[in-house]
Structure 1
Amino acid sequence: MNPLVLPPWRRSVARRFAVTLLAMLPALVMQAWQFDAEWLIRLAVLASAALAFTPVITPALLFTPSPPSPAMGERVGVRGAFPGTAPQHHLRPPDSTDHRTPVSRWHWKNSGSAVLLDALTQATLLAALWPSGSALWPAIAGLIAALLMQRLFGGWSSNPFPPSMLALAVGLMLASGSPVAGTSWSPSETAPVALAWLASGIVLVLLRLRPWRPMLCFALPLALFLIGSDIGTDYWISAAIGTTFIASDRLHLPAHPLGQCLVAALAGLGTAAIWLAGAPAPALAFAWLLFTFLSPWIEQRTLPRPPATISET
């Protein structure tokens, strides 16, 4: 589709990431104001780590060298005034006041904003899901590992694993030697925050930035589990974040809607099983990593096959 006929917020990848961050803002403010004031510290530290580490591993995506300017006396090609005319060459006259040299200079690349906004989005999700009161260094190490893994896979368009889930899983494994704190709040405190996260996802669906079918397929198994169990209310927030910003991320889902719904439903069932076994709320990352790993296999079996052609005899 021609980008000019799209709404302004869908005309570039950077704008889509920016709108996603803006959609998170009300839920994040409510979460910090309601009961998790330490989230601001976690966000500042993780966002700083992401913004500082991303240019180190992806300099070619952020900056591009400009072509060297011609030196004095160098032949310069000038296009003809009309299409089809051959370029004319002339010698650039020496100028003692011209200090330009053939040395390349680095300029900001158009995709650089998208790369940094993506890293900031993953850091924000990790800060919202990381257990309050737990050590922060495993989350930082997990975020750096996830961003590096995404770069090794070729960027966000070819990375099979959601970086926030990979960072969360790595952080939990690094923190296995130290206790992972879990906090339970009253339903009156948790419900507004969970509803704010769900409202953020609905806004993205209305803006046609996220699909609604995977969100619903992931939320249904978790809703049945949360209603029929007496676990802590902190699981509600993790379920809301997973529904709105993980299950709806098409970059890590199959191309066909049927495959997207299948992966999301399996991830929802896996998350419910992990939580039922007594795992903490952030353990939903392991379910997502398992079923996004199977996403290419599921995509091969859910994509519609072209109709068979009858060979002429």
Structure 2
Amino acid sequence: MCTDKAREFFMEGKLDEAEKLFKAALQEAKEGFGLRDPHAASALNNLAEFYRLRKEYEKAEPLYLEAIEILEQSFGPDDIRVGAAFRNLGQYYYIQRRFDQAQTCFERALKIEGRVMGLGNPDYANTMYLLAKVLSQQGKGKDAEALIRESIRILEEAGLGESPACIQRMKFLSLELVKSKQLAEAENLQRKILHNLELSKGWNSLDTTAAAETLSVTLQNIGNLKESEELLERCLTVRRKILSEDHFEVAGILVHLARLTLLKITSDIKVNNDLSTPHLVKAKQLVNDSIRVSNS
């Protein structure tokens, strides 16, 4: 009861009340079941997660570690509950940018989940995604790319290829591909993301315009300026409609359009210097508009 009420208080933003109840739940578990009982481990983990979300990191870590110790003693080192606890601890280390420790935790969780749940389980794929993010931060791009591809494959085979979780992972993979200069594959993946969002949310959605904006930047980088401009113009229209004329995201699109117009100037100069003048005028206007929006 204390835990449920604590979560309710947390969702309502009543953090002091939530903390008191999470602590009370821990005390009740220790008194009712024993200091080394799994109920105590669950309460320890709940309190640790509360402190992690509240960014009181120094309080969270010892609670995570104590919970893991109790679970390993109670169920053995390969129990799924131990795996879940390691995944929580890995997320804590990731936020702290302690990537080596996060990697160790996620690898331990992945090994347990693979053995218990099976290699095709979406939860297993989720931990794989978390590990891929760590490897990316460590500069291990190829390893991260391989893991995220496998994570996406698992979700697609489970019928979750159009789910928000899968689209999120596709976005991550597309960024990795751009970083490694695999622009053609990044373009194809970004088109797939945009298509899925068009079908699920339509164009009157900020998520769809964000995907279109990402694709437009990639198209600029490979020289497809015409389609890039068409996408940005459409994004601009939608964002003005959903947000407002003076919103900073509108200013962001104007900056992208100004950059694209300057790229067109560079292209036109190679053909005919006179063709660049109208683009230069447009670029100046776009920059001025973006500054006006940013200052309003």
Question: TM class by shorter-chain length?
Answer: under 0.3
Higher strand proportion, which one?
Answer: 1
| TM, length-normalised to structure 2 | 0.22
Greater length-normalized contact order (CA 8 Å, ≥ 6 residues apart)? 1
Q: Give the TM-score, by structure 1 length.
A: 0.22
Q: Give 1 or 2: higher helix fraction.
A: 2
